[in-house]
Amino acid sequence: MKPITLFCFALILSVLSFAQQDIEKDTIRRTASIEQKNLGDKIEFKANAPILNQIAGAPKAFYTNFWEFGDGTFSKEKEPVKTYKKNREYTVRLWATNNYDTGKPPLTRPKKIEVSNANDSYEDEASMDSALNLQRNSEPIPDEEMVMVFSYKNTKNYTTNGKFFLFYNEAKYKDDNFSLIETRTYHNEKAINDAIVYTSEFDSDVFYASDEDNLMILKAKPQDTTVRKNLPKTLDDAKFAYRNSSQLSFDNMKPNEERHVFYSLKTTKEMLKDTSAIISVRGVYVPEDKYDNHHVKDMEMEIVTSHDPNKMSSNSTFLNYRLVKYKRPKFKIRFQNNGEGPASTIRLETDIPDMFDKTSIEVLDMYPKVKICPKHDVTYSCLDTTYTAKQAIFTFKNIYLPGSEQKNVKEYDSTKGFVQYRLKFSKDFHKQKTKSKTAIIFDKNDPIITNYSTTRFLPGVSIGVKAGYNSFADLKNSENYFIGATISPYKSYRWYWQVELLNSFHKFESNTEIKEEIVDDGTIGIPYTERTTTNRSYSNIDWEIPVLVRYNVNNYIGLGAGIIGTISVSEKQDQSILTEQFEGQGADLFLFDSSTTNENVSESFTNIRSGFLVEATAGFARIGPSLGARYVFNLQDNYNYLQLYAIWKF
């Protein structure tokens, strides 16, 4: 082999080997490591994270960090400085979340550190302004691990013993969204074996959400700003809404003490894949065992496939059309200022589908927290809501929202904001999928377009009652009445299917059959004429099974076409045969003998027929009563018929 040939062959092998190595290397999950630096009695932590892969067209990619220090405290700062109170070994954990990055979040192994420079007089700053709080390191991504923090505080002026519950995996979804893989406690919290232990006593030195008897209606999205007292109902409601729970008790909690429990959750592969959906977990905190006073908080989360802080989501991705008339779906628009300076005006141009009444918008919550703008111009911070033909426009005016790239900004949560609102359905809306997105404009910068938030309707089933009359023009003395049921999608808009089962009672007579023949049997010596007259009457019970496609022209007129199968489940036939004998032939006949015989015949599941049909209805085409006419073309002779009916769909 020539040297040049050998060189080319070796070069090709090297290229292929290098390409294979690259492909194999790309399949390895990225990792981030924990680095620390001692600063006297403090330790500075840093994350050594891999280079980000920028999403094309998105704001600049960046990491957000969530630190768990191994002593029951945590931080969301990028590079936190921590002071420990005891000299010993601690396990530090890091969750690094990649924003506007094309890859998965990097994995980080927990790191054990030995602390020898502790400061036992150091006191952590109070971080809670309420008795109960729920936090997470990021939004859930299918088949990824996340950390959730249950924070609780003793607001009493004495030491308390109590319990708390975390409910997860909403029952309204078919599959679980989370599996609990680890619970980390730092204050000797213990699992409760029998969580349903109630008392009948209440602490009178508190403000209650409700004081009517001992009953309280727990709202769908409870808040923890007041103390609630009907613990059995709260727990029953939570057990009805969620399939799984974690139940812990605590002891010797000092006044104003704050504690945190860390839950490592793994999102399942089967979790809800709708990335515009909102899922939730619920926390219940009982500060004292001897009383049923308690706090409740729900934490909503938006399912994501990548971490984009600018997002639109809804709690109404799947709706039961039969039950939505008086519901008010909620939507949430999240945004983050990723600039190098603060934003003073933020404009959210949000699509409002036709099925919703945009004038019914009610703002439920927002950040930055501001007042609703009055109709005249003001100089203070406020949120203004205006409308166009297809949009609602939320505008934060005169605010200060720092940028994530701004100097001296350590807390990335301070650069985020949101608007949560709800609205009513229009008076006349149809069962259609909707899509809406938001254009987010910071000051005079280019718009950032969010994902689509979708709403879909569960199919729903409409059961109908149908009765009427079938007219057979080719049958003698026909009488046919029927009653039956229909099934179709509930309150369909345009095209839909419909299946029916009709039970009909049919009476008719066949045409008279007359037969004459010359008989010469040798008994009377001469030939004679024998006439046989046969009459038959039928009494049938038939099952008809039409399957058709229908189209609602509008709310009052509907058209349909399909196929039909019919079977006689019971057929009774009465047959009368008159036999007459005549002498002579032609017109000169003389009756010399006659006899009549009657026969009754019963059969089942006979007379199978098939055909096709066309129809039209007038009335309430989508739901309610209507009248219809149908013509059935049977493939058998003499069985075409016109059907007139009344139907009521429920």
Q: Which two tokens stand for residue 342?
A: 């603060």
Q: What is the mean pLDDT of residues 238-254?
A: 94
The answer to whether the beta carbons of residues 183 and 168 sit under 8 Å apart is: no
DSSP line for 235-251: HHHHHHHEEEEEEEEEE
Cα–Cα dist 261/259, whole Å: 7
Residue 35, strand partner residues: 46
| Res 310: pLDDT | 84
Going by C-alpha positions, the residue among 281, 199, 286 that lies closest to residue 244 is: 281
Confidence band, pLDDT 50/70/90 cuts, at residue 125: confident
Q: Is the pLDDT of residue 197 over 80?
A: no
Q: Which of 50-64, 250-264, 580-594, 610-624 has the lowest mean pLDDT?
A: 580-594
Residues 80-102: tens digit of each pLDDT = 999 999 999 999 999 999 888 87
Task: Tell me the per-residue pLDDT of 313-343, one tens digit each, with 9 for 90 and over.
Answer: 887 777 777 777 778 888 999 998 888 888 9
| 8/531: higher pLDDT | 531
Convert 68-95 to b/e letters by CB count within 10 Å (16 or more is b).
bbbbbbbbbebebebbbeeeeebebbbb
CB atoms within 10 A of CB 279: 25
pLDDT in the model for residue 412: 72
What is the structure's pLDDT at 274? 61
**Do residues 397 and 373 lie in contact, with contact meaning Cβ atoms separated by under 8 Å?**
yes
Q: Write the DSSP assignment of 105-140 as a string of letters.
A: PPB---EEEE--S--TT--PPP--SSSEEEEESS--
| Alpha carbon 124 to chain centroid, angstroms | 42
Residue 170 has pLDDT above 80, yes or no: yes
Q: Which of 247, 382, 365 is nearest to 315 (CA)?
A: 365
Residue predicted with more confidence, 128 or 275: 128
Tokens representing residue 378 in the block: 């003001």
Task: State pLDDT tens for residues 59-81.
Answer: 788 888 999 999 999 999 989 99
Q: Which two tokens stand for residue 129?
A: 């302004």
The total of other beta-carbon atoms located within 10 Å of residue 170's CB is 18
Q: What is the pLDDT of residues 376-415, one digit of tens each?
A: 888 899 999 999 989 999 999 999 998 887 877 767 778 8
Sketch out the chain's domains with CATH numbers.
29-122 (2.60.40.10), 126-306 (2.60.40.1510), 311-451 (2.60.40.740), 461-649 (2.40.160)
Q: Say which amino acid occupies 254.
A: K
Within 10 angstroms of residue 180's Cβ, the number of other Cβ atoms is 16
Q: Which of 226, 260, 258 is nearest to 135 (CA)?
A: 260
- Give dist(CA 94, CA 45) in Å, integer: 10
Mean predicted lDDT score pLDDT of the chain: 84
Q: What is the pTM of this model?
A: 0.59
Which residue(s) pair with 330 in the sheet? Answer: 422
Give the span between the Cα atoms of 11 and 30, in whole angstroms: 30
Q: How would residue 42 be classed by pLDDT, with cut points 50, 70 and 90?
A: very high
Tell which wins on pLDDT, 56 or 553.
553
- How far is the C-alpha of 456 from the C-alpha of 62, rounded, in Å? 34
Contact predicate 227/108, CB 8 Å: no
